[in-house]
Structure 1
Amino acid sequence: MPKKESALNNELIELLQGEKIVSLITTDKDTQKPNLSIVSWLIAYEDGKTIKFALGHKAESAFNIQHNPHLILGVVGAGSCYSINGKGKVSDIIDKTMKYRIVTVEVEEVEDVIFYGGKITQEPDYIKTYDMDLAKKLDEEVYDLLKS
């Protein structure tokens, strides 16, 4: 992938189909300093210009994006590390098993940010440490919302 692109390539679209550890950097609405959080409920759309992710309805990141829509998604995978810059739009509260907000990101720039000569050989992985039945229910619910 060239250094900077205006959309996700097919490999990144395929990678970003949920259950990934993705860094979310927003600007804190009060301090104006960078704020880092992690999201895993996300879907990249085939157009390469749209990503949606879910947050809890009281997530500080949602309030930050409402105040300043510019954000960065940090992705480790597809052999490298990527910075995805875009603008986010936060949904109203969606009341299901839990209360969510969906953030729709308009991708503006994708940059390969791995250091010279570096290549990712193993992607980060995680496990859910809460009730597996609840995890499955929440996952199904969220991905239905993200795909709509």
Structure 2
Amino acid sequence: MPRKESELNEQLIDLLQGEKIVSLITTDKDTKKPNLSIVSWLVAHEDGKTIKFALGHKAESAFNIQENPNLILGVVGAGSCYSINGKGSVSEVIDKTMKYRVVTVEVESVEDVIFYGGKITQEPDYVKTYDEELAKKLDEEVYALLKS
């Protein structure tokens, strides 16, 4: 039976401290159909009710959230799969090494959505395929924004 909570538990807060592959589902501002993208610059705050993530300043997802703030974050980890429903608000463009927008999500519900009898035994992993120094600089810059 799926468990639905109103905020992130401690295990999810610990998991969502960046460098995770998280699905972002928004509503396309033009077609009104679901739109899927992936984010990894993401931080859950200790209150269990707030998640912040960064996008490029021209990301379609940012424009979708401005039009319709309802979104879902799909998380694989902490032994299961979770659907985090919330409302997002998009910052103005932040001009640093690159131009970003920060989305602040007010968590409305968290549901364990894995199929009956399923358990995640290994989390998705990835590598960055661009310049190592640039990746480090961008990560430091973005996480400073997300943790504030």
Q: TM-score, normalised by structure 1?
A: 0.99
Query: Take 1:145 and 1:110, find their aligned partners in 2: how far apart are those partners?
Result: 24
**What residue is the counterpart of 1:17 in the other structure?**
17
Q: 1:7: Cα distance to partner? A: 0.1
**What residue is the counterpart of 1:45 in the other structure?**
45
Aligned positions of 1:91-130 closer than 5 A: 91-130=91-130
Unaligned regions of 5+ residues in structure 2, if any? none
For the pair 1:71 / 2:52, whether they are aligned, the reply is no
- Please, what is the CA RMSD of the aligned residues? 1.0
Query: Take 2:100 and 2:86, find their aligned partners in 1: how far apart are those partners?
Result: 21
**What residue is the counterpart of 1:85 in the other structure?**
85
Q: 1:28: Cα distance to partner? A: 0.1
Query: Take 1:9 and 1:143, find their aligned partners in 2: how far apart are those partners?
Result: 21
**Which deviations, in whole Å up to 9, do the C-alpha atoms of 1:46-96 show, x marking residues without a partner?**
100000000000000000000000000000000000000000000000000
Counterpart AA for 1:64? N
SS at match of 1:35: strand
Query: Take 2:103 and 2:10, find their aligned partners in 1: how far apart are those partners?
Result: 21
**What residue is the counterpart of 2:36 in the other structure?**
36
Identity of aligned residues (%): 87
Query: Take 1:64 and 1:93, find their aligned partners in 2: how far apart are those partners?
Result: 15
Aligned residues: 148
Counterpart AA for 2:4? K
Query: Take 1:28 and 1:65, find their aligned partners in 2: how far apart are those partners?
Result: 9
Query: Take 1:119 and 1:147, find their aligned partners in 2: how far apart are those partners?
Result: 30
Counterpart AA for 1:46? E
**What residue is the counterpart of 2:4 in the other structure?**
4
Unaligned regions of 5+ residues in structure 1, if any? none
Q: 1:25: Cα distance to partner? A: 0.1
